[in-house]
Amino acid sequence: MARKQQPAAPPASKPKISRMCMVCRTRREKRDLIRIVKTVGSPPAIDLTHKANGRGMYVCKSADCVNQAQKRKVAERAFSCAVDAALYEELKELIGSEGNG
Ligand SMILES: [Zn+2]
């Protein structure tokens, strides 16, 4: 009596990958963070896909963390380059549009 072999069971739920906010050092899931990526030859930019190549850093989707990042020049230090104020404005807009529900 031949029995069909069951395919190996898929692995149980994947471990959740958490990333650390560069400002408050809290670990969160990626969806609770905004990624900023610095690619060679381009200024730092928001990476909404979380998939862009380059050096990345994460900031909470919180106005506090974005304001702190701007004040303390966290991104400037992380990427060792100038960061346009427009980037922070973009971050604040992103948070504003998600936060005030
Ligand atoms: Zn934070």
CATH of the domain at 46: 3.30.1230.10
Q: Is residue 48 part of a domain?
A: yes
Please give the backbone phi and psi of residue 88, each rounded to the nearest 5 degrees, phi first.
-70, -35
Give the per-residue pLDDT at 19: 94
Residue 80 pLDDT exceeds 50: yes
Answer yes or no: is 29 within a domain: yes
Distance 39 CA to ligand 1 centre (A): 22
> Per-residue pLDDT tens for 28-76?
999 999 999 999 999 999 999 999 999 999 999 999 999 999 999 999 9
Q: Strands, DSSP E only, in 2-100?
A: 18-20, 27-29, 33-38, 45-47, 55-60
Residue 1: what pLDDT? 63
Give yes or no for a contact between 27 and 18, defined as CB atoms under 8 angstroms apart: yes
State the total domains in the chain: 1
State percent of the chain over pLDDT 70.
Answer: 92
Whether 33 is covered by a domain: the verdict is yes
How far apart are the CA of 2 and the centre of ligand 1, in A?
57
Give the per-residue pLDDT at 100.
47
Q: Domain limits at 76? A: 18-99
Whether 37 is in a domain gets the answer yes
Tokens of 15: 């471990």
95 within domain boundaries: yes
How far, in Å, is the centroid of ligand 1 from the Cα of 66? Answer: 8
Q: Give me the residues near ligand 1 (ion), CB cutoff below 5 Å.
A: 21, 23-24, 60, 65
* Ligand 1 centroid, distance to 26 Cα (angstroms): 6
Cβ-Cβ contacts under 8 Å for 47 (sequence gap 6 or more): 35, 36, 37, 56
Following DSSP, what letter does each residue of 9-31 receive, concatenated?
PPPSSPPPPEEEBTTT--EEEGG
**Does residue 8 lie in a domain region?**
no
Question: Is residue 3 one of the residues assigned to a domain?
Answer: no
Judge whether 55 lies within some domain.
Answer: yes
Q: How far is the CA of 1 from the centre of ligand 1 (A)?
A: 60
- Closest by alpha carbon to 55, among 69, 45, 67? 45
